[in-house]
Amino acid sequence: MSGNEKLKEFLSISVYLLIVLFLSYMFVHFVGQRTLVNGVSMEDTLQDGDNLLVDKLTYRFNDPERFDVIVFKYTHKDNTYYVKRIIGLPGETVQIDNTGAIYINGNQIEEHYGYETIKDPGIAAAPITLGEDEFFVLGDNRNNSADSRVAQVGNIDRDIIVGRAWVRIWPLHNAGKVADIK
């Protein structure tokens, strides 16, 4: 192989690697992100140690929906993300009574995601009216979850939502779309 051929091959490989790096960067920052579930707040849906791919693209074009499992930045600690389920949507009033029933605009919602009956409604014992870009979230393991019932978490602003939990990629025997995990 001549010197020119070696240079062409080196440049070809370099351009290929730069394209791969650029596409990887674009994917991680704009399309998807890997997130590790740390803790038991989303059991039985998600387990401690699960690895998720987060869809960062969908909410650029569509609004988050009730019961979506989302990943959002926890604003009180750097590089910390929470995984929770959306219960209340912008403009709605959410309240949890002393029996653990969840009410949206005065109507009890039917949902089967909660791991058990809510024992402590927290700040949601009184009606909470969400702002135009706010969401009310709960962990599925309702009695072991720091979520919107806790003042330190509170209502979630849309601008701190990273994306929708899309696919569990690890452990492999539990891999699958999060929307299909119930």
Total domains in the fold of the chain: 1
134 in a structural domain: yes
Residue 146 sits in a domain whose CATH number is 2.10.109.10
Containing structural domain, residue 112 = 33-180
pLDDT band at 39 (very low <50, low <70, confident <90, very high): confident
Does the pLDDT at position 90 exceed 90? yes
22 in a structural domain: no
78 in a structural domain: yes
Q: What angle do CA 59, 150, 135 make, to 5 degrees?
A: 20
8 A C-beta contact, residue 149 and residue 122: yes
User: What is the token pair recorded at 137?
Assistant: 């979230």
Alpha carbon 91 to its chain centroid, in Å, reads 21
Residue 115: per-residue pLDDT: 67
Does the pLDDT at position 32 exceed 70? no
8 A C-beta contact, residue 162 and residue 33: yes
168 in a structural domain: yes
CB atoms within 10 A of CB 7: 10
Q: What is the pLDDT of residues 72-82, one digit of tens each?
A: 988 767 778 88
62 in a structural domain: yes
Active-site annotation, residues: 41, 84
